Amino acid sequence: MTLEHFDVPVSLIKRYGGWRDRHLVDAYVRYAQTVMTAYKGLVNYWLTFNEINILIHSPFVGGGLIFKEGDNKKQLMYQAAHHQLVASSLVTKIAHDIDSENQVGCMLAGGMHYPYSCRPEDYKETIDSDRKNYFFIDVQARGYYPNYAKKCLNVKRLSWKY
């Protein structure tokens, strides 16, 4: 069962600005706990977010983000992504607390990129492009930001260096 598939409630978008606000973490955790408790023993396979990385490609669909003039779009997208990753982590723990048989997975939008040629520059560009999406799965599967994301993501500005 998928808990969120591009469906941030409009009331939360209007009140908090979507996933840009930390309040959505708490709201999502309450929601997930309610659903998982209701389906305890009936559903054991869960996805916290369908295609969690869609937030970077389509901010409104993936996170309910509406930008205003002067907003740092990249910063807001990656802040929202961080909130979703925190929420996913908390819900994964809750899922196991509710029912030890629960299994929680993750889903990524899109596929991998292929280099234009065998030139090292093209290959590096492909790896860098893939990592912008893969870090979502890496965080969910490992429970922490991988080193390549820490190196590429400027924490002060929340933007990729390359």
* C-alpha separations of 130 from 13, 52, 115 in Å: 29, 14, 11
161 within domain boundaries: no
Query: What average pLDDT is seen over the chain?
Result: 90
111 within domain boundaries: yes
pLDDT in tens, 61-110: 999 999 999 999 988 998 999 999 999 999 999 999 999 999 999 898 87
162 within domain boundaries: no
94 within domain boundaries: yes
The pLDDT value recorded for residue 155 is 56
Give the Cα separation of 14 and 18 in Å (integer): 7
